[in-house]
Amino acid sequence: MNIERADEIKKMLCSCSNICDSGDYFVNLREFGRDLKMNKVYKDLEKFSGAMASKERLIILKSLKEKDRCVCELEAILNKAQSTISHHLRMLEKVYLIRSWKNGNYTYYGLEKENLNSFLKKLNEELKIA
């Protein structure tokens, strides 16, 4: 942030927050923001949110909540091509929300319930309003 913009924000802080020493308050706010950005929990939640940011992936998770499934079952559920489903499955595997294993010629997928619950718990803890 350039010095001019920082000065503008400090002036606004005096008005909107009735802060007499907006310089110190501004520094505290910047440190607060830096700490939040460096927090590993937020980095993990960013990856989780990215993986969840698709209706198809949410449907896959809901389907796997019911039972482990092979790709052909997910194709039928989503009415999408195998290549599209595989893309979504890779995104979910990348953040350890699902696991895969071979059984003969088929690949099956299952929900990593503990990991999903852990992410949901972290998200709830961070955003819960008391």
User: Which strand (E) or helix (H) includes residue 85?
Assistant: helix 82-94
User: If you average pLDDT over residues 21-46, what whole number do you get?
Assistant: 87
Q: What is the pTM of this model?
A: 0.77
Long-range CB pairs of 34-41, under 8 A, 24+ apart, other chains included: 41/122, 41/126
pLDDT given at position 9: 85
pLDDT digits (tens, 9 = 90+) for 84-118: 999 999 999 999 999 999 999 999 999 999 999 99
User: If you average pLDDT over residues 44-72, what whole number do you get?
Assistant: 94
Backbone angles phi, psi at 35, to 5 degrees: -60, -40
Tell me how far apart the alpha carbons of residues 61 and 48 are, in angstroms, rounded to a whole number.
13
pLDDT given at position 115: 95
Architecture of domain 43-124: Orthogonal Bundle (1.10)
Statement: residue 8 has pLDDT above 90: no
Tell me how far apart the alpha carbons of residues 19 and 117 are, in angstroms, rounded to a whole number.
41
User: Which strand (E) or helix (H) includes residue 36?
Assistant: helix 22-38
Q: Which residues contact 24 (CB under 8 A, 6 or more apart)?
A: none
Instruction: Please report, for the chain, how many H helices and E strands are present, in that order.
Output: 7, 3
User: If you average pLDDT over residues 21-47, what whole number do you get?
Assistant: 87
